[in-house]
């Protein structure tokens, strides 16, 4: 993915001017590129209760999720002079969560990777070694950024002569003509009932489509029926 560092720096400088910094008079602005091409920004916001200061990176990560989620690819963080500023320790942990080891942070003379800024980082994988998969019913950590996105297709299958239910999580929304990336994110396990497979799907995406043995489509997702799906799925169909 092409990173336009100059554009990120310009956006960071612009939002730095909106910082609320009565305590420090040290405005900070950040702009980050998301893996779908969006740019999200944030500025620091201080408080009379000094320890409650919100760093610019925190605002940016809030905006990342408020505007659709995704993974951070690159970030420019600037001080009042417009020069690159290193994220504080706490923010490095926050950036690690949403950008991972490959995320780049503007620095001189070259951008630095998150695994350079936060070596030996603590993350979900360390917890999962002890507790098993975290973050809700078994969404693997490497797929956490896809939660709430894509579409789950649930369908019956034969296993050892018996009908079971399974599904797969597809990265595109399934809507025609959007030019989105396609591809399977995760194959589901076998479930005894359609309801169990639908529940597996709803943990991953609000878009869940049940495909019956005849290829008929029913909507088990949230909200209105999307175009091309004639009916809502009900437990009785299972």
The answer to whether 197 touches 185, Cβ cutoff 8 Å, is no
Catalytic residue among 57, 106, 170, 186: 57
Does position 112 bind ligand THU by CB under 6 A? no
Which one among 88, 141, 202, 203 touches ligand THU, defined by CB under 6 A? 88
Question: Smallest distance from the beta carbon of 8 to ligand THU, in angstroms?
Answer: 15
Q: How many residues does the chain have?
A: 238
Site for ligand THU in 8-27 (CB under 6 A): 21, 24, 26
Residues 205-234 that bind ligand THU (CB under 6 A): none
Residue from the set 10, 14, 18, 53 that interacts with ligand THU by CB under 6 A: 53
Distance CA(136)–CA(124), nearest Å, equals 12
Beta-carbon count within 10 A of 25 CB: 9
**What sections of the chain are H helices per DSSP?**
5-16, 56-66, 89-99, 114-117, 124-131, 194-204
Q: Comparing C-alpha atoms, which of 54, 71, 62, 69 is closest to residue 114?
A: 71
Query: Which residue in the set 12, 13, 34, 55 belongs to the binding site for ligand THU (CB under 6 A)?
Result: 55
Our answer to whether residue 187 is catalytic in this structure is no
Kindly list the catalytic residues.
57
Q: Which residues of this chain interact with ligand THU, rule CB under 6 A? A: 21, 24, 26, 28, 44, 46, 53, 55-57, 77, 87-88, 91
């Amino acid at each position: 993915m092409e990173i336009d560092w100059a554009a990120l720096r310009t956006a960071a400088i612009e939002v730095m001017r909106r910082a609320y910094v009565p305590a420090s008079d040290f405005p900070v602005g950040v702009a980050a590129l998301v893996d779908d091409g969006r740019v999200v920004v944030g500025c620091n916001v201080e408080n009379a209760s000094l320890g409650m200061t919100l760093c610019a990176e925190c605002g940016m990560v809030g905006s990342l999720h408020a505007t659709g989620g995704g993974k951070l690819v690159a970030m420019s963080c600037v001080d009042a002079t417009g020069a690159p500023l290193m994220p504080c320790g706490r923010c490095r942990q926050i950036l690690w969560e949403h950008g991972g080891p490959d995320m780049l942070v503007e620095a001189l003379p070259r951008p630095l990777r998150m695994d350079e800024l936060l070596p030996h980082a603590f993350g979900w994988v360390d917890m999962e070694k002890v507790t098993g998969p975290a973050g809700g019913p078994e969404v693997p950590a490497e797929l956490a950024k896809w939660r709430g996105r894509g579409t789950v297709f649930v369908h019956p299958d034969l296993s050892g002569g018996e009908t079971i239910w399974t599904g797969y999580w597809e990265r595109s929304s399934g809507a025609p003509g959007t030019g989105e990336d396609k591809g399977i994110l995760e194959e589901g396990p076998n479930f005894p009932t359609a309801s169990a497979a639908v529940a597996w799907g709803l943990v991953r995406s609000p878009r869940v489509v049940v495909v019956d043995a005849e290829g008929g489509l029913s909507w088990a997702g949230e909200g209105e029926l999307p175009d091309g799906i004639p009916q809502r799925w009900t437990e009785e169909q299972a």
